[in-house]
Amino acid sequence: MPEIELARTPRAKQKLQVERLKKFKKKNAEKSKRVLDKLAAVVERGENCFPALLEAVEVCSLGQITGRLQEIVGRFRPMV
């Protein structure tokens, strides 16, 4: 089996991305809470969540969205 070479992101780029994420979250803090609450309500009612997800990705990070969804429906665990 051939050895796979892993790509590494330079620390400076990692640091820059973390700072960008912090600024993004701070800038959208108020709106993201409102949008995540709306997404949660839609999911809890069993409605089509796609429109709410599209709204959420504009002001929330992937971690914020998946974290909120996991609170509601749990974490996917494949059956083995």
Contact yes or no for 52/28 (Cβ under 8 A): no
In a domain, 8, yes or no: no
Check residue 2 and give its pLDDT: 80
Largest CA-CA distance found in the chain, in angstroms, rounded? 50
Residue range(s) defining the domain that contains residue 73: 29-80
Task: For residues 58 and 47, give the distance between their C-alpha atoms in angstroms, rounded to a whole number.
Answer: 20
Give the model's pLDDT for residue 52: 98
Q: Is 53 in contact with 39 (CB distance < 8 Å)?
A: yes
Distance CA 61, CA 59 (A): 7
* Contact yes or no for 55/35 (Cβ under 8 A): yes
> Is residue 15 in some structural domain?
no
Number of domains, the chain: 1
- Global pTM value: 0.80
State the burial class of residue 25 (Cβ atoms within 10 Å of its Cβ: 0-12, 13-18, 19+). Answer: middle
* Rounded average pLDDT per 10-residue block, the chain, 80 residues: 87 96 97 97 97 98 96 86
Q: Is residue 39 part of a domain?
A: yes
